[in-house]
Amino acid sequence: MKPHVICLAIDRLRASALGPYGAAWCDTLAFDRLASESRLHDQLLCESLQLEETYRNLWGPSAGRNVDSEPMPASLPAASVSAGYQAMLLTDEPLIANHVSAQAFMERIVLQPEQVSNAADTIEETQIGHFFAAATDALRALRESSSRPTFLWMHCRGMAAPWDAPWKLRESLAEEGDPTPPRNVDVPSEVMPPDADPDIRLAHTQCYTAQVAVLDACLGVFLEQIEDLKLARETQVVVFGLRGFPLGEHGTIGAAAEQLYHESMHVPLFIREFDQRNAASRVDTLATHGDLRLFLAQKIRNNGQPSELLSLPCSLNQKARDRVCAANGLERAIRTPAWHLRVPGSDEGTPELYVKPDDRFEMNEIAALCPEIVARLQAAIVDTDAYLQGDSQPLAMLSDELISGNS
């Protein structure tokens, strides 16, 4: 029988918050375990910071032309149904339930957001805890319908839901001499002045880390349930982030001023095969949510057999993705293996250039030192846009200097 496919999409989960991506803020034992059993992708990047657009990339249908040569189904949920899967959606975000492509799911479970004013007493009582309780129920239903493979898509608001981690958990993350973490449960969204007290950023980081700890604990229970229900050997699990979360690196906390920096664009991706054939492996080539959609579409067509992600070309003459272009309103960005160029909106400043992968958190802006690189990357954005809009010209591969940084 075809293996089940479970996709867990978590909003506002930045890759750098997790142990497998180098975080030392707190232990993330469940994500560590998942990484040991999965193929971990180091460079999944958002093409948009708008949730609806992200899901258009994930599910389809997409406007314009795909950068990849693979034929695409009308939508990923519809393709799963056509392939004989029982397609289920579980979400705590009504926007996702009402997405045009969500109509193809045979069953939709929508958890209504709750009004929260205080921290929860236990992890189970948090908003994330409630979501995973429903996810466990969905697993049991999947087990009971074992005569038919299931395509289960779970959207968790994650760090976009109220920050209601138990107070004791927040407090435990503060080291000696740190300020007392705030008790507010509202998701922060603010622009920090240049002379802002660094303790403000620290407090937000502590609260965000507490939410990640809640998520990690809930994920651990969920993975154990897959084992207990004897689903592990017949289920592929894909866990990934949708958007990151700024914690003051470039003067903003949360979504106060959505900007195309690393902390917002870089999200985690774990792919655990039902036979764990790629366990404890890593891939460091660039990828997008659109690539993930292609991968899942291939899995559905191939009955769960091996399928490659990140070897998918941007055009027929390329062996790997050489760029990711992102848009957020008038702001644009292009990321290559060697560079990250951010082009603010027309009235918001000048282009910013960062060296990759060395400048991981984009702290050293060097556009003035490399004007030719800036100009060529801006031209690459224009060329990519034209190609996606149906320009008949093939998308030329970037020069070695833009890919590797070598002149």
The SS3 of residue 65 is: coil
pLDDT band at 317 (very low <50, low <70, confident <90, very high): very low
Of 347 and 248, which is predicted with more confidence? 248
pLDDT for position 303: 64
pLDDT for 63 equals 47
197, pLDDT greater than 70: yes
62 pLDDT more than 80: no
Kindly write down the DSSP assignment for every residue of 315-351, as one continuous string.
STT-SS---EEEEETTEEEEE-SSEEEEE--TTS---
Please give the pLDDT value at position 147: 74
pLDDT tier at 311 (50, 70, 90 boundaries)? very low
pLDDT at 309: 47
The full DSSP string for 13-55 is --GGGSGGGT--SS--HHHHHHHHTSEEEEEEE-SBSSHHHHH
> Residue 71: is its pLDDT beyond 70?
no
> What is the pTM for the complete model shown?
0.94
pLDDT higher than threshold 80 for residue 366:
yes
Q: How far lies 82's CA from each of 110, 161, 236, in Å?
A: 23, 33, 19
Q: How many CB atoms lie within 10 A of CB 73?
A: 19
How far is 360 from 357, CA to CA, in rounded Å? 6
Q: Is the pLDDT of residue 1 over 80?
A: no
Q: Residue range 255-284: average pLDDT?
A: 92
pLDDT digits (tens, 9 = 90+) for 379-407: 999 999 888 887 767 788 999 999 987 75
Least reliable range by pLDDT among 71-80, 190-199, 237-246: 71-80
Q: Tell me which range, 191-200, 235-244, 303-312, is most confidently predicted by mean pLDDT.
A: 235-244
Same topology for domains 4-301 and 324-404, yes or no? no
pLDDT at 277: 85
Provide the percentage of residues in the chain whose pLDDT is more than 70. Answer: 91
Higher pLDDT, residue 73 or 266? 266
- Flag whether pLDDT at 134 surpasses 90: yes
What is the pLDDT of the chain when averaged over all its residues? Answer: 89
DSSP SS3 for 268: strand
108-129 pLDDT per residue, tens: 999 998 889 999 999 999 999 9
CA distance 303 to 322: 29
When pLDDT is averaged across residues 365-369 and rounded to a whole number, the result is 97
> Given this model, what pLDDT does residue 313 score?
39
64: pLDDT strictly greater than 50: no
- Average pLDDT for residues 254-261, to the nearest whole number? 91
**Max Cα-Cα span within the chain:** 62
With pLDDT > 90 as the criterion, what percentage of the chain qualifies? 71
Specify the length of the chain in residues.
407
How is domain 4-301 classified at the CATH fold level?
Alkaline Phosphatase, subunit A (3.40.720)
- Please say if the pLDDT value at position 72 is more than 80: no
What pLDDT was estimated at residue 306?
52
How far is the CA of 83 from the CAs of 59, 270, 301, in angstroms?
Answer: 15, 24, 7
Mean pLDDT of 336-343: 97
List 194's β-bridge partners, or say none: none
Helices (H), 244-333: 262-265, 289-301
| Dihedral sign for Cα atoms in the order 12, 39, 144, 100 | positive
Whether pLDDT at 345 is above 50: yes
Res 151 pLDDT > 60: yes
Where are the chain's structural domains? 4-301, 324-404
What pLDDT does 24 receive?
86
Please provide the CATH number assigned to the domain covering 324-404.
3.30.1120.10
**Residue 394: predicted pLDDT:** 79
